[in-house]
Amino acid sequence: MSVLSNRAKSLKPSPTLAINAKAKSMQAQGIHVISFGAGEPDFDTPENIKQAAKKAIDDGFTKYTPVGGIDDLKDAIIKKFQRDNQLTYKRSEIIVSCGGKHSFYNLAQAIFDQGDEVIVPAPYWVSYPPMVSLANATPVIAETTEENAFKITPEGLQKALTPKTKALILNSPSNPTGSAYTREELEAIGGMAVSKNFFVISDEIYEKIVYDDFKFISIASLSDEMKKRTIIVHGVAKTYAMTGWRIGYTAGPEEIISAMNNIQSQSTSNPTSIAQKASVEALIGPQGEVDKMVSAFAQRRNYIVDRLNKIPGVSCYRPVGSFYVFPNFSSYYGKSFQGKKIENSTHLADFFLEVARVAVVPGVEFGADPFERISYATSMGDIKEGLARIEESLKKLG
Ligand code: GLU
């Protein structure tokens, strides 16, 4: 008898979190590692949000809540969609879960079956393919190009489509590339979703982190037809520096939300009561702190992209959103350090960690081996120091 299920045997830990843990354990040993690993804002959760949580505790709001979230929070989410995206949802079309990942996981469990194909444009966020596979469906990886800002084109989509296609995953702005889709691009994709009859899972968690007047559009807002076949996955973690609070939410057709509710009611029950109250304040309280954080991210982005592009042999797409850059380091593949050959993004990430003491996430984990992901949700001081270390270490490769 095998102890583990086949499901568990074939699963490896999330590489973003694993690298983060490795960097932290090196730091705990007194090694000064600069971590460009996990995408987690370095800012503290804004004060008004913390106060709302403290009030919830003082008020004794510490018991079970409805499985899919309290009405107050659903109403705040409904308000957010109306205010920011001109989308109208009912409470029955919203569910709150324990983080964006949990939202996506439960959604996958609710709509995918064996035999279903799910198109995942690469570079993709690390956990999409495993979560699709855990729901017994098949991730179909659709390559994109750096020249096209890593965005899937209608032609690329056409190639990946089969009669088994159940959904396309869109993540705009993107983790790991920072690219984002324009209205025209979304219209082309939406047109295909309608004519070929597939769902779009739109991960909009980086909606608010956009630069240079880029206008975020939710594909669900393009038409009623599109709204019916879009499921939006969202959360408060990235916008409000609330990664540890674990509040994600999903908006979509009532039938799907109701199935997710059943899954949640048999597994995790409600997300934390206190964190739900804090999230109400996050979504409908003052938004000034968000602007401050985004302008700090924008400064860092400018610095990091300019500096990376000055390193010989490195090219880096200039992101329009999120807090990652995805530079191409492949011109260094084939070079060696102390007799050890760097052949891929994993070797180079190991080299950066061991020699430069800088943690990055290898591009291969996002389905794109020429690249490394660098999160700039960290201080400008660390960014300067980390890039200097990367630059110096690359000179050692011959
Ligand atoms: N989504 C963040 C990242 O990509 C946090 C870690 C994770 O959940 O994967 O770094």
Answer whether residue 50 is part of any domain: no
Judge if 298 and 327 occupy the same domain.
yes
Task: For residue 366, give Cα distances in angstroms to 65, 133, 176.
Answer: 36, 16, 7
Answer whether residue 1 is part of any domain: no
Is the pLDDT at 165 greater than 90? The verdict is yes
Q: How far is the CA of 123 from the centre of ligand 1 (A)?
A: 14
38 lines ligand 1 (CB under 6 A): yes
Closest ligand 1 atom to Cα of 14: 9
Is the pLDDT at 38 greater than 90? The verdict is no
The CATH number covering residue 16 comes to 3.90.1150.10
Out of 284, 307, 332, a domain closes at: 284
Q: How far is the CA of 375 from the centre of ligand 1 (A)?
A: 10
For 336-391, give the secondary structure using H, E and C. Answer: EECCEECCCHHHHHHHHHHHHCEECEEHHHHCCCCEEEEECCCCHHHHHHHHHHHH
Is the pLDDT at 109 greater than 90? The verdict is yes
Closest ligand 1 atom to Cα of 176: 4
100 lines ligand 1 (CB under 6 A): no
Answer whether residue 175 is part of any domain: yes
Residue 398, amino acid: G
Judge if 149 and 173 occupy the same domain.
yes
pLDDT given at position 276: 98
Out of 242, 265, 284, a domain closes at: 284
Atom 9 (ligand 1) nearest CA: 16
Report the domain count for the chain: 2
14 lines ligand 1 (CB under 6 A): yes
Judge if 158 and 270 occupy the same domain.
yes
Judge if 214 and 305 occupy the same domain.
no
Out of 284, 315, 330, a domain closes at: 284
18 lines ligand 1 (CB under 6 A): no
Judge if 68 and 217 occupy the same domain.
yes
Answer whether residue 12 is part of any domain: yes
Judge whether 56 and 28 are in contact, CB under 8 Å: no
Query: In angstroms, rounded to a whole number, what is the distance separating the alpha carbons of residues 151 and 215?
Result: 16
Query: In angstroms, rounded to a whole number, what is the distance separating the alpha carbons of residues 201 and 107?
Result: 9
Instruction: Please report where in the chains the tokens 């959904």 appear, as a residue.
Output: 167
pLDDT given at position 351: 97
Query: In angstroms, rounded to a whole number, what is the distance separating the alpha carbons of residues 37 and 135?
Result: 27
Kindly state the DSSP code that residue 97 receives in the 8-state scheme: E
Give the list of residues 6+ apart from residue 111 with CB closer than 8 angstroms, or none. 135, 166, 167, 199, 231, 256, 259
The predicted-structure confidence for 173-211, as pLDDT tens digits, reads as follows: 999 999 999 999 999 999 999 999 999 999 999 999 999
The predicted-structure confidence for 201-260, as pLDDT tens digits, reads as follows: 999 999 999 999 999 999 999 999 999 999 999 999 999 999 999 999 999 999 999 999
Task: For residue 69, give Cα distances in angstroms to 75, 96, 97, 156.
Answer: 10, 5, 7, 38
Q: How far is the CA of 16 from the centre of ligand 1 (A)?
A: 6
Q: How far is the CA of 88 from the centre of ligand 1 (A)?
A: 29
Q: How far is the CA of 12 from the centre of ligand 1 (A)?
A: 15
E-only strand ranges, 152-218: 165-171, 199-203
Q: How far is the CA of 338 from the centre of ligand 1 (A)?
A: 33
Judge whether 38 and 24 are in contact, CB under 8 Å: no
Judge if 83 and 203 occupy the same domain.
yes
Q: How far is the CA of 36 from the centre of ligand 1 (A)?
A: 12
Judge if 311 and 212 occupy the same domain.
no
Q: How far is the CA of 395 from the centre of ligand 1 (A)?
A: 30
Judge if 104 and 24 occupy the same domain.
no
The CATH number covering residue 217 comes to 3.40.640.10
Query: In angstroms, rounded to a whole number, what is the distance separating the alpha carbons of residues 150 and 45?
Result: 31
Judge if 75 and 161 occupy the same domain.
yes
Closest ligand 1 atom to Cα of 99: 8
Mutate to test the pocket of ligand 1, among 16, 105, 325, 376 (most ligand atoms within 8 A of CB): 16
Judge if 209 and 338 occupy the same domain.
no
Answer whether residue 51 is part of any domain: no
CA angle (356 as vertex; 355, 361 as ends), nearest 5: 100
| Residue 324 host element (H or E) | strand 324-325
The predicted-structure confidence for 307-319, as pLDDT tens digits, reads as follows: 999 999 999 999 9
Query: In angstroms, rounded to a whole number, what is the distance separating the alpha carbons of residues 211 and 295?
Result: 8
Judge whether 49 and 285 are in contact, CB under 8 Å: yes
Q: Which two tokens stand for residue 68?
A: 């899919």
Q: What is the share, in percent, of the chain residues with pLDDT greater than 90?
A: 98
| Residue 76 host element (H or E) | helix 71-85
The predicted-structure confidence for 60-105, as pLDDT tens digits, reads as follows: 999 999 999 999 999 999 999 999 999 999 999 999 999 999 999 9
21 lines ligand 1 (CB under 6 A): no
Q: What is the share, in percent, of the chain residues with pLDDT greater than 70?
A: 100
| Domain residue limits at 370 | 6-44+289-394
Q: How far is the CA of 103 from the centre of ligand 1 (A)?
A: 14
Nearest to 249 by CA among 72, 114, 59: 72
Is the pLDDT at 340 greater than 90? The verdict is yes
Answer whether residue 149 is part of any domain: yes
Answer whether residue 104 is part of any domain: yes
Q: How far is the CA of 17 from the centre of ligand 1 (A)?
A: 7
134 lines ligand 1 (CB under 6 A): no
Atom 1 (ligand 1) nearest CA: 39
Tally of helices (H runs) and strands (E runs) in the chain: 14, 14
Judge whether 135 and 106 are in contact, CB under 8 Å: no
17 lines ligand 1 (CB under 6 A): yes
Three-state SS for 143? strand
The overall pTM is greater than 0.95: yes
Answer whether residue 28 is part of any domain: yes
Task: For residue 64, give Cα distances in angstroms to 57, 198, 236, 270, 348.
Answer: 13, 36, 21, 7, 47
